[in-house]
Amino acid sequence: MRSSLLIASNERIIMKILIIVALLASFFSCSTEEIEPEILLSTLDGAEYAADMEGEMNARKATHLILQGKGDSINYTYIRAISDSLQTQDSIWRIKYFEALNTLLPELDSVEWRYLGVNAFSYFLHNPNELLDQLNTTAFDNSEFWLRILSLEFNSRVLPEDITINSVINLAHKYCYNCSDDKKESIIEFILALAVYED
């Protein structure tokens, strides 16, 4: 009996030693150096993203940062650059720029709103379908802000310069590619809403 207790006791000691050796081996095999995580890049736009983020601050880099929730440190100069970039021919980037501005919109002051209004109104005139889609989806929560900004710019252009509401409607329809009659009617309703909107 004593020999069986001795064997059991030896087995426990051996098990404890094996556990300690395994723990020590795993502890020392872990490197104490921080390893930078591997960046996975999309085959579609991954290299473009990496180039944007490695380069100097510009509208594209600022847009990426804002859309990642890191827009607190973005200078007004780059917010204005994003606003100016609403005029790009690249529809993917136009939408990204709009989304970034939409994210910041409630935090902008009246001077920035006025600056944004000029570019947003031009964006609407040249891409009415796209802007209305954005207002009905991404920007729905801020649609009141956008309506205010766009109406200020609309009224500043229509009232003193003798530009008629019909000429604005015609221009928006001209740039509404492949628009159904319902979409054209939505554009008319939106422009009429801009004309009568009061802050």
pLDDT for 103 = 93
Percent of the chain with pLDDT over 70: 80
How distant, in Å, are the alpha carbons of 21, 55, 61, 63, 99 from that of 136? 62, 34, 26, 21, 13
- Separation of alpha carbons 151 and 121, rounded Å: 9
pLDDT, mean of residues 57-61: 90
End-to-end CA distance of the chain: 95
pLDDT for 5 = 47
Model confidence at 172: pLDDT above 90: yes
pLDDT, mean of residues 163-191: 92
Are residues 86 and 122 in contact, defined by beta-carbon separation less than 8 angstroms?
yes
- Separation of alpha carbons 178 and 173, rounded Å: 10
pLDDT for 64 = 92
pLDDT, mean of residues 109-119: 91
- Separation of alpha carbons 197 and 112, rounded Å: 20
Q: What are 172's two structure tokens?
A: 């928006």
Give the model confidence (pLDDT) of 67-95 as tens digits. Answer: 999 888 888 899 999 999 999 999 999 99
pLDDT for 62 = 93
pLDDT for 39 = 53
- pTM, to two decimals: 0.74
Q: What is the DSSP letter of 75?
A: -
